[in-house]
Amino acid sequence: MAGKATTLQQETPLVSGTEYAFAQRMQKTPKSFIREILKVTENPDIISFAGGLPNPELIDVDGIAQAAKEVFEKDGRTALQYSTTEGYPALRRFIAERYKKRLGMEISPDEILITNGSQQCLDLIGKILINPGDRVAIERPGYLGAIQVFSLYEPVFVPIDLRNDGPDPEAFKAAICKESPKLFYCIPNSQNPSGITYSPEQRQACAEILKGRRTIVVEDDAYGELQFSGKAYPPLKKLLPDQTILTGSFSKIFSPGMRMGWVCAPKKIMEQLVIAKQASDLHSNYLSQRIASQYLETNDIDAHIRKIRAAYSMQRDCMVGALAEEMPTGITWTCPEGGMFVWVTLPAGMSAMDVFSAALKEQVAVLPGIPFYVDGGGTDTLRLNFSNASPERIREGVRRLGKVIRSLQ
């Protein structure tokens, strides 16, 4: 027997340098630049503004643990079983009722599908709507996660330049009329990466331009609850209910590690999303859904969100103040109304990649803006995250960053 095994091994040797026939779509899908950078910043001595992590001190560990205990005690066997694709009914009802409470929107629980984070929303949308060569309009700069997931489906991206209060209406209208994109993907509240928030006037203008066209709006509202003033802006979904797919996330207000998001869509689109979801993973983590639902039933989520807003507002103020003190002339930055990011524009001719490399040597990590542009650009921009660093580390990190930029000037 031993001799036969040896012979078999000799007859089927391993081939080094094997070429695998990967799908062509993989050649058009970029790596997540953020994930690659996060590997570099695992060193605790590095002050990182590169990621997009919520503040871990603001995760209600005790409250979530108690909710989990109650789920296991009351209905543990059911919570550990398979479930329906659409998601736990009580959780979907909570989301629908919250839309009515916060935004005055009449949403049925049947219009809501629970997903594995809001990133899966985008993947499912891409699966059911994007064919190779389809036009997809996206903000410029645009969210890296959306760029990556939509790239799998081989669209032609149509970049939409942003002003401080949203898309320029004339340029937006020209792009929509000329390209007739199948989708327009946007983040109207505290946009990632720029931090800007669409004004009510710009939301209305966008809705009027899109109304009646074949373009479907994909409205990512990951940061809608994190407007520091507590003001709730009207979503495009409210202005274009039958033309908009709205996505949401518990990651920023509850727990990112539990990977829970949702998509809210018209009935005909929802039918296709459910089929795609079934083919993908049958259903989202049912235990996480039950724990989240129990937590939301027994805790004041509004009070928790107010706590997060207050903390992030203070961290935003700290970063913007430190930038004003430490940055040399010729550098500008946004002052976001909410969310987790400040967008920095360097002096013309200064390379964000050079800043990134030099800053790492000073043990501070920043995110160059290049991967947020689908058509090139961003070589002189940086995204800075303020939600996952203490005020002391924000001030020290910005001081180091200012030193680096002055040395490159």
Sheet holding 183-186, edge to edge: 112-115, 261-264, 244-249, 216-220, 183-186, 135-140, 156-163, 166-167
Nearest to 49 by CA among 406, 259, 320: 320
Give the integer Cα–Cα distance in Å for 150 and 252.
22
Give the pLDDT band (50/70/90) at residue 37.
Answer: low
Asked if the model's pLDDT at residue 1 lies above 80, the reply is no
Residues 311 and 402 in one domain: yes
Dihedral sign computed on CA atoms, order 206, 210, 212, 216: negative
Q: Is pLDDT at 14 greater than 60 in this prediction?
A: no
In a domain, 8, yes or no: no
**Cis ω before 56 (30° cut-off from 0):** no
Query: In this model, does residue 270 exceed pLDDT 60?
Result: yes
Of 18-27, 59-68, 157-166, 391-400, which gets the smallest average pLDDT? 18-27
Residue closest to 299 by CA, chosen among 96, 94, 93, 57: 94
Q: Is residue 40 pLDDT above 70, yes or no?
A: no
End residue of a domain, out of 263, 298, 333: 298
* 275 shares a domain with 345: no
**How many structural domains comprise the chain?**
2
pLDDT band at 36 (very low <50, low <70, confident <90, very high): low
pLDDT at residue number 28: 72
| Residues spanned by the domain of 34 | 26-59+303-408
Q: Say what the pLDDT of residue 17 is.
A: 61
pLDDT of the residue at 348: 87
Q: Is residue 402 part of a domain?
A: yes
- Structure confidence at residue 97 (pLDDT): 98
What is the pLDDT, as a whole number, of residue 35?
66
d(Cα 115, Cα 347) in Å, to the nearest integer? 41
65 domain residue, yes or no: no
Question: Which residue, of 298, 327, 344, is where some domain finishes?
Answer: 298
| Domain presence at residue 16 | no
Phi then psi for residue 319, to 5 deg, are -70, -45
- Look over the chain and give the mean of its residue pLDDT values, rounded to a whole number: 93
Whether 339 and 251 share a structural domain: no
Tell whether 287 and 393 lie within a shared domain: no
Q: Please tell me whether residues 144 and 179 are part of one structural domain.
A: yes
Residue 257 counted as domain residue: yes
Average pLDDT, integer, range 327-338? 96
68 within a domain of the structure (yes/no): no
* DSSP 3-state of 48: strand
Q: Within this chain, do residues 227 and 287 fall inside the same structural domain, yes or no? A: yes
Flag whether 3 is in a domain: no
Residues 167 and 153 placed together within one structural domain of the fold = yes
Confidence of residue 25 (pLDDT cuts 50, 70, 90): confident
Please indicate, yes or no, whether residues 199 and 287 belong to a single structural domain of this protein: yes
For residues 381 and 266, membership in a common domain is answered with no
Q: What is the CATH number of the domain that holds 107?
A: 3.40.640.10
Alpha-carbon distance of 347 to 156, in angstroms, equals: 31
Q: What is the structure's pLDDT at 44?
A: 83
Among the candidates 266, 298, 330, a domain finishes at: 298
Q: Are residues 222 and 134 in the same domain?
A: yes
Within this chain, do residues 192 and 308 fall inside the same structural domain, yes or no? no
Q: Is residue 7 part of a domain?
A: no
Question: What CATH number does residue 331 fall under?
Answer: 3.90.1150.10
pLDDT of residue 16: 56
Answer yes or no: do 281 and 311 share one domain.
no
Q: Indicate if the pLDDT at residue 9 is higher than 50.
A: no
Burial state string for 213-230 with b = 16 or more CB within 10 A and e = fewer than 16: eebbbbbbbbbbbbbbee
